[in-house]
Amino acid sequence: MEPESHHLAVSRTARYLTLGKVDGPLDDVWFLFHGYGQLASEFLGYARALARDRRLLVVPEALSRFYHDDHKRIGASWMTREDRLAEIDDYVAYLDRLHDRIFEGLRRSETRLRILGYSQGVATAARWAARGKADIDELVIWGSPLPHDLDDAAIARLGRMRVTLVGGSRDPFLTEAHWEQQTSLLRNHEISFDVKRFEGGHRLDDDTLRALDVAASTPILGVDDILNLSHPEPDARIHYGDDALQFGELRLPKGSGPHPVAIVLHGGCWRARYDIGHTRAFSDALCRERIAVWSLEYRRVGNPGGGWPGTFLDVAAGADHLRTLASPHPLDLARVAAVGHSAGGHLALWLAARGGLGEGSEIRGSSDPLPLAGVVSLAGVTDLRRAVEERVCDTMAAELVGGRPEDAASRYAEASPIERLPLGMRQRLVTGSLDAIVPPAFGDDYAARARRKGDDASHTRVEGAGHFEGIAPSTEAFRVVLEAIRTLLS
C-alpha cells in the first residue's frame, strides 16, 4: 500500500507588528514583508526610515518559525518548496484577513495601500498583489526577482500598481541577470516601472527608503513631460557633415555680441529613437539667458554609422564646426562650454577629454580640437565600464563602444570620461537625488576622482529631482545648471 497525502484547514494564530497611530486620518498604509529567517520585529527595525506622521507601517510575520543553526536565534519563513501551493494559499488568505482588519474603520478611498517585499518577501508581496483581494496602489520589489510562477493575468494585475524595483549594487541575490529578467518581463507586458539602485549589498537602505516616500509625493518629470514643453524654432539649422543627422541648431541671443556659447548634447542612452527634440526647450531657455546655443544632433546606435566610432566623430566634428560659425555669427570662441544631459552628459565630458587622445585614435577627430572653458554634465554617464556592470541604459554603453569592457578595454580607456582624468579644465556635474536612470553615485565618484587628480570638479545633488528636471526650464534643477554654466562662461 502507498500512503496518501491529505490536507486539513485549521485555525491558527498569526503575529504582526504595527508602527503608527490609527486614531486619526492616514495618508497611507505600508505592508512590509520580511526576508527569510527574519522576524517581524527585526525587519521593522531595518525599515523605520519609512515611519512618519499620518502613516501606518504593518509588518506581518510569516507563519512558519524555526531555529537558526545556533539554536538560539529564531527566524520565520513564508514558504518552502514542500507543499508550496498550500503554503501560498495559506499566506494569501492570512494577508487578506489582515488587510480587512487594518482597513476596518479607515476610509480606503483616502488612504493609499503600498507594499514592500524584501528578499523572500518579494515573492510573498507579488503573489498577494496578484492573487489577493486587496486593491494595492504601489508595489516595491527589493532585493530579489519576481517569482517565476506568475502567469500573464497575474502580471497584468501588477500593471495597475506603481511598480518600483530596488537593489544594492553588490547584492549577490540580485544579479545583473536577475535585473535583465525582471525588466524584460515587465517591459514585455507593457508595465511601467521605476528603478532605484544604491551602493551596497543585500539590505534595506535608509536613503532609498526615504526616496520611495518622496517619489510617491513628488511628481517626477518623465520624457513625455520634456517633449511636451513649448519652444520656438532655432535661428538656423546648419549641417556640419554630409549625413542627414550631422547637423546642429543655432540659437542666438538678442544683442550684438560676441556671445558666450553652450554646445548642447542631448541624451537618450545613445539610442537612435531619442533625438535632439529632448533639449530644444532647454536650449531656448539658455538662449533667453543671453547664451548662444549650438545644439548638436549626431548619429546614434541604430543609425547607419552610429556607435563606434561614428557617434564620437560626429560630436567632435560638430563642436569644431563652431570655428566656421564664428565667422558669420557673433560668437565668442574664448567662452565655450560643453553641456550635456544623460548620454549627452557622457559625450560632453568626453568632448572635454578628447584633446588628450593620441593622434592614432579612431574617435578623436580633428588634431586641433576646439578649446573649451569647461563642461557641465547633467545626470551624465561618467563611467562606461560601471554603466555596463550596473546596466545603466540597459546594454547601450557596450553597444556604443562595440563590446564589453573585457573584450574592448582599449576602447573604454578612450571613451569613458573617468578613465581620461585629469581633464585640465573646470567640470560641474549636476544630478537629481531621485534619479533612477543614472544614479547620483556616478557624479559623486567621478568628481571625487577628478579632484584627486588635480581637476577643479564638483557634483551637486538636487534634492527631490529626477532624471529630467535639469533640462526643464521651470525647475530648481535647471537654475542650478544655469548657474554652473554661467560660472564657466563668466
Quick one: how many helices (H) and strands (E) in the chain? 16, 17
Q: Are 211 and 465 within 8 A, CB to CB?
A: no
pLDDT number for residue 359: 87
DSSP state of 133: S
- Residue 81 CB contacts under 8 Å (≥ 6 apart), including other chains: none
Q: What is the pLDDT of residue 224?
A: 82
Confidence of residue 85 (pLDDT cuts 50, 70, 90): very high
Instruction: Tell me the sheet residues that pair with 168.
Output: 198
Please tell me if the domain spanning 16-217 has the same topology as the one spanning 223-489.
yes
CB 194 within 8 A of CB 163: yes
Which top CATH class is 16-217? alpha beta
Partners of 250 in beta bridges:
236, 294
Biggest alpha carbon–alpha carbon distance for the chain: 101
pLDDT tens sequence across 134-145 = 999 899 999 999
| Confidence band for 125, pLDDT divided at 50, 70 and 90 | very high
Residue-level pLDDT at 217: 54
Distances 488 to 48, 77, 229, 483 between C-alpha atoms, Å: 43, 57, 27, 9
The predicted-structure confidence for 155-173, as pLDDT tens digits, reads as follows 888 878 888 899 998 999 9
Distance CA 75, CA 81 (A): 17
Grid cell of 99 as nine digits:
488587510
Phi, psi of 295 (to 5 degrees): -95, 125
CATH for 223-489 (3.30.1050.10, 3.40.50.1820, 3.30.420.40, 3.40.50.300): 3.40.50.1820
3-state secondary structure of 439: coil
Q: Look at residue 297 and tell me whether its pLDDT is greater than 60.
A: yes
Q: How far apart are CA 376 and CA 124, in angstroms?
A: 44
Which of 43-47, 81-85, 240-244, 307-311 bottoms out in mean pLDDT, i.e. has the lowest? 81-85
Q: What is the pLDDT at residue 257?
A: 87
Domain ranges of the chain: 16-217, 223-489
